[in-house]
Copies of this chain bind each other. A is one copy, B any other.
Amino acid sequence: MDNVVNIGLIGFGTIGSGVVETINKNIDLIENKVGKKVKLKKVVDLDISTDRGVEISSEILSTDINDILEDPEIEIVIELIGGYQPALKFILMAMEKGKHIVTANKALLAKHWTEIISSAQKNHVRICFEASVGGGIPLLQPLNESLSANHIISSYSIINGTANYILTKMSEEGRDFDDVLKEAQKKGYAESDPTFDIEGDDTAQKLIILTIIGFGVYIKQENFHVEGITNITQEDINFAKNELNCCIKLLAISKLVDGKLEVRVHPTLVPNDHLLSSVNGVFNGVYLVGDIVGPVMMYGPGAGMMPTASAVVGDCIDIIENMEKPVLYGPSTTTVKAIGNITDLKSKYYIRLLTDDRPGVLHEISGILSQHNISIGSMTQKQQDETNGIPIFMVTHTALELDMIEAIHKIDQLDCVKDQTHFIRVL
């Protein structure tokens, strides 16, 4: 029995089925790697009657969580039910029983990090969560290991497949946001309520975890700027492409600036010669800069049944190979302070305005920008579609975001401005 590692799986949905399929398919590889027998001893879900399309013995299935929590032979618990409760309760109970944890639950980790990690340390168990950020992409483990001689200086991440799919399709096919969103929903790339993905919340939760592992800093979501992609129009994408040789990506950014850590999520103009511009469709990419190694990027499928299962089972292997090692986690003794306050940001900005077609308009707008120390790098005025107003596109030189916010607020009060003015930060 000593030579068998027993695993319990909570949650037999899409990812859970992927985990069962991965273990079924590659059990020889896994056992060869760890030098032990590996057994999925119990799978618990409220619904164990639906056919998941994977081979599983009915004896393994149970609706009773205690079949996992109270079984002393189960050493590793995989949590894949998602959400806050009862996932948190189950994880804490399992850790108290001395069980190691593998989870893909980004929402839970992002919100309850301190409590979960304290419990892991108190109970001397490991908790692994490679699947919680970037799905199947090796990310947290390389940060913890191959790159561990580095201070990470900055990270720029495309970590939401839904948002990236929508932006990619808008760019490639010249279609509008709503149109592409509907298609994404039809294809299963977007939820029927897509808010969580398109408003940046999912990206923010993943960024919280990435910032803990990469920078040793834990910042809660309410303390940094999170902005989604719902305001991005075909005009923005076209102007970025044709006039600026850029694309628009929803980026999760953590970046050391003068000893402080900027943390933010927002759509960003990315130059087309930057590798992140090639991360298209549902794929994810994380571009990191280390103080020793320089820039590194990891790319791959950021979600989905099998890619996520790959990371979950990889974490199980990691735990089996490192059970005897001391457990060290969490924000190090770093003194770096996270700043989520976007008003302190210095950036170049792309601005889209809709104005009246009459003399003096530009004079008024440029006057306000100038009063707020914002200098215009380039400007284009389009003559199309005069019924709704004249669109003006500008790119500023580097400016302070607080100045931008105040300037745009004043500009939007001008009579000659016909619609709310939008701006997008430039990488």
Label chain A's interface by main secondary structure: mixed
Chain A interface residue count, Cβ-Cβ cutoff 8 angstroms:
56
A141 interface residue (CB < 8 Å to B): yes
Contacts of A282-316 to chain B: CB distance below 8 A: 290-301, 304, 306-307, 309-311, 313-314, 316
A150 interface residue (CB < 8 Å to B): yes
Min CB gap A150→B, angstroms: 6
Contacts of A113-161 to chain B: CB distance below 8 A: 130, 136-139, 141-142, 145-151
Tell me whether A326 and B146 are in contact in the complex, defined as CB-CB below 8 angstroms, given that A136-B294, A136-B296, A151-B29 are known contacts.
no
Min CB gap A173→B, angstroms: 14
CB neighbours of A26 from chain B (8 A): 149-151, 291-292
Closest to A315 in B: B146
A245 interface residue (CB < 8 Å to B): no
Beyond A138-B138, A145-B318, list 20 extra A-B contacts (CB 8 Å).
A22-B292, A26-B291, A136-B290, A138-B142, A138-B145, A138-B298, A139-B146, A141-B141, A141-B142, A145-B314, A145-B317, A149-B313, A149-B317, A275-B279, A292-B310, A293-B300, A294-B301, A296-B299, A298-B299, A322-B322
Q: Please list the residues of chain A having a beta carbon within 8 angstroms of any beta carbon in chain B.
A: 22, 25-26, 29-30, 32-33, 35, 130, 136-139, 141-142, 145-151, 275, 278-279, 290-301, 304, 306-307, 309-311, 313-314, 316-318, 321-322, 324-326, 328, 332-333
